[in-house]
Amino acid sequence: MKQLVVQDLGRMSYGEALTIQDEANRKRFDEQIPDTLFFVEHPPVITLGRATPEADILISAEERERMGVEVHRITRGGLATYHGPGQLVGYPIVHLYERAVHIKRFITTLEEMFVTMLGERYNVDAHVDPANRGVWVGAQKITAVGIAIRNRVTMHGFAFNVTTDLSHFDWIVPCGIRDRGVTSLEQCTGQRISLDEARRETEGFFRQTFGYQS
C-alpha cells in the first residue's frame, strides 16, 4: 500500500501554510517525500481563486483591517472561500503522475469521501452536486473543495466546517453562489465536536479512500 505522511500544523496563518505547501509540492515532485496531508486551522482569512471578482468580498478593506482579516488570491480553481477558527482545513500534497486522467477523479473521490464519513460517523445526510463543487447538506455547503495542480502534484484542498462561526461567511459570496448557504458539523448534529476528533476521522477516511497504509 502507498505511504502517506500526515502533519498537523495547528493554528497557523494562511501565508505560512502556503509556504509549507509550496516547499512540499516541490519536494514531492522531486520524490524527496511521500504523499503528504497537512491539517491546519487558520485565523480568519478570505481566499480568492484565480477568477474571483473583487465584488465577491462583501466587507470593506477598512472592516477587514479592523478585524484582522487577511485576503489572499491564490492559484486554485473556485471562487471566494472563508477560513477561520473551528474549521478543519486539509492540504493534500499528492503526486497524480497523469494529471489529465486523474485530477477530476481525485476531486470527486475527495468529495465522496466526506459524504461517506458524514453519513457513517455522524448520521448526516450529505451529498455532492454535479453543478457545484463541495459537499452539501440540503442546500447548505459543509465542506468546500478547491484543488490546484503544479508539477502533477496537488495543492490546496478542503475546508470542513466543524464548529465554524457561520456568520463570517456573510463577509463573502461563498464560492460565487448567492442562493445557497453554509452549515457546520455542529449545526447538523447539535453537538460540539472537537477539531481533534474531526481530524482523526478525516485522516482515517482519507487513508482508506485513497489506499494508504494505516
Which residues carry out catalysis? 175
124-156 exposure pattern, b = at least 16 Cβ within 10 A, e = fewer: bebebeeeebbbbbeebbbbbbbbbbeebbbbb
Tell me which residue of 79, 78, 36, 83 sits closest to 57, measured CA to CA: 79
Neighbours of 99 (CB within 10 A): 16
Please, which residues have CB within 8 angstroms of residue 131's CB and are 6 or more apart in sequence?
Answer: none
The Cα–Cα gap between 115 and 127 comes to 6
The Cα–Cα gap between 143 and 135 comes to 5
